[in-house]
Amino acid sequence: MMKVGVIMGSKSDLPVMQDAIDILKGFDIEVEVDIVSAHRTPEKLFDYGKHAHTRGFSVVIAGAGGAAHLPGMIASLSPLPVIGVPVKSSNSIDGWDSVLSILQMPGGVPVATVALNGAKNAGILAAQIIGTSDTCVLDKILVYKEGLKIKVNESAKDLK
């Protein structure tokens, strides 16, 4: 079974990151959640990044606000795909500091970046990555996407 690591810089990020956790659990993907602060627990960050692939993770979703170094640092240490979630935090500059910190990675250290507070899309993207090698997850994604289409079509009927 595939597993996704969902990490965040502080517990205050959990309300945003919960969307990723929920969507992954909805696809029956195992999720391990932890707090790993790039600035307050650098040793934990290094250990997590260097060993995530040996702990059975397929993808890491990292959410962070403010300076938002967590996703990029994990990506610098891990061979796994990393999805960054910029979080609009209390010390944020309308979230732009987080968005740009995660988005503007140097060549060779990619981080897939979703929208500000876009943890749901991070969960879906992680599931799609896993779905490339797990047909059960792929089938659930196909059903999910069909459900999105049905909702839109039903909404359009309500307008007429």
Confidence at residue 34, expressed as pLDDT on a 0 to 100 scale: 98
Distance CA 26, CA 49 (A): 26
pLDDT tens per residue, range 103-123 = 999 999 999 999 999 999 999
Confidence at residue 4, expressed as pLDDT on a 0 to 100 scale: 98
**For residue 89, what pLDDT band results from cuts at 50, 70 and 90?**
confident
Q: What percentage of the chain has pLDDT greater than the value 90?
A: 91
| Residue 54, both tokens | 């040996």
Nearest to 49 by CA among 75, 21, 83: 75
Residue 139: C-alpha distances to residues 4, 6, 22, 158 (Å): 18, 23, 18, 29
Kind plus residue range of the DSSP H or E element containing 154 = helix 135-159
For the whole prediction, is pTM greater than 0.75?
Answer: yes
Give me the amino acid identity at 144: Y
pLDDT tens per residue, range 12-58 = 999 999 999 999 999 999 999 999 999 999 999 999 999 999 999 99
